[in-house]
């Protein structure tokens, strides 16, 4: 899907890196703002920690012979299509998906998986990539991983480690010339206030809300919701986000609940993607509406 055309590239020279656990995370978390920044001339790079090898087939239409047996290669192909749609570059960090442990008690994680990696060892390829790409801004998940998947939690840990280590010449001395990103953000893509707003908007339009059952057991956390510092307006790019999501055909059901909310309702109700500014080495006053707020020289 073509991206909306902007008259110029006012952000040429700015660089943004997102660190994600699995292929599809770059499209389900922050993809509209990613597409917007790309259209403005920002160089956006995604680091994908694992290949999604142990992920489930969540689209019934793709649950057929030959898919699960070749899931690793199929998910690499899906990632290629998604990154072309978003206009980004991307690297695999090369770790193995931990899977989602189920049971009570939950079974141990499989040997050699990303969720069990030593944090300093896991951060090394990310430090190397940061020093090579030299991002001004780095985003990742919060300390709970956005949700408590072991790969998401480890993604958080190595991202924070790499953010602080990449600029220190005494850390990882064989991983390239030091580079200190200027800002670190956590993504807050799935908040209860957003779900409530979309739920109420659907009802106001006389439509069935996919959030009705989910909200019953979703505890209110005003302290958590208050952590959002930065709301980036990007609703013009929700269509690009949706096309990138659909590129991950084994994981995204085009008839699923997410696509039951009309894009117009989403844009009218919650036209931003939301982040938490965690560390800033530049002066930037919150609340913000831009991940690059305070960064004036993209050298």
Binding site for Zn(2+): what residues are annotated?
Answer: 22, 25, 152
| Radius of gyration (C-alpha) of the chain in whole angstroms | 19
Angle of helix 71-86 relative to helix 31-39, nearest 10 degrees?
50
Residue 61 C-alpha from the chain's centroid: 25
DSSP at 253: -
Burial 170-198 (b: 16+ CB within 10 A, else e): ebbeebeebeebbbbbbbbeebbebbebb
Phi, then psi, of 93 in degrees rounded to 5: -80, -15
Residue ranges of the binding site: 22, 25, 152
Question: In angstroms, rounded to a whole number, what is the distance separating the alpha carbons of residues 154 and 172?
Answer: 19
Question: In angstroms, rounded to a whole number, what is the distance separating the alpha carbons of residues 273 and 291?
Answer: 11
Partner residues linked to 230 by β-bridges: 275, 288
Cβ-contact 252, 57 below 8 angstroms: no
Question: In angstroms, rounded to a whole number, what is the distance separating the alpha carbons of residues 144 and 146?
Answer: 5
- Which residue stretches of the chain are H helix? 25-28, 31-39, 71-86, 119-133, 150-165, 192-204, 212-216, 222-225, 238-247, 263-269
Question: In angstroms, rounded to a whole number, what is the distance separating the alpha carbons of residues 188 and 238?
Answer: 16
């Amino acid at each position: 899907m073509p991206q909306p055309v902007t008259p110029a590239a006012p952000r040429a020279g700015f660089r943004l890196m997102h660190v994600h656990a699995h292929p599809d995370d770059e499209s389900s978390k922050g993809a509209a703002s990613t597409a917007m920044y790309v259209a403005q001339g920002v160089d956006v790079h995604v680091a994908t920690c694992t290949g999604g090898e142990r992920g489930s087939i969540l689209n019934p239409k793709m649950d057929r012979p030959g898919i699960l047996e070749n899931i690793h290669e199929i998910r690499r192909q899906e990632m290629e299509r998604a990154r072309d749609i978003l206009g980004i570059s991307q690297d695999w960090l090369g770790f193995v998906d931990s899977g989602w442990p189920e049971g009570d008690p939950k079974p141990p994680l499989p040997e050699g998986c990303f969720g069990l990696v030593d944090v300093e060892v896991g951060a090394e390829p990310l430090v190397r990539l940061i020093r090579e790409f030299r991002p001004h801004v780095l985003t990742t998940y919060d300390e709970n991983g956005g949700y408590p998947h072991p790969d998401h939690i480890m993604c958080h840990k190595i991202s924070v480690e790499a953010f602080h280590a990449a600029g220190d010449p005494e850390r990882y001395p064989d991983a390239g010339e030091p580079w200190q990103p200027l800002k670190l953000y956590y993504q807050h893509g799935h908040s209860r206030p957003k779900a409530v707003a979309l739920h109420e908007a659907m009802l106001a339009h006389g439509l069935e809300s996919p959030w009705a059952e989910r909200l019953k057991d979703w505890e209110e956390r005003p302290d958590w919701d208050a952590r959002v510092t930065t709301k980036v307006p990007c609703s013009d790019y929700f269509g690009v986000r949706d096309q990138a999501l659909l590129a991950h055909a084994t994981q995204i059901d085009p008839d699923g609940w997410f696509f039951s909310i009309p894009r117009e309702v989403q844009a009218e109700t919650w036209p931003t993607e939301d982040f938490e500014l965690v560390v800033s080495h530049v002066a930037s006053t919150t609340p913000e509406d831009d991940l690059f707020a305070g960064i004036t020289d993209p050298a």
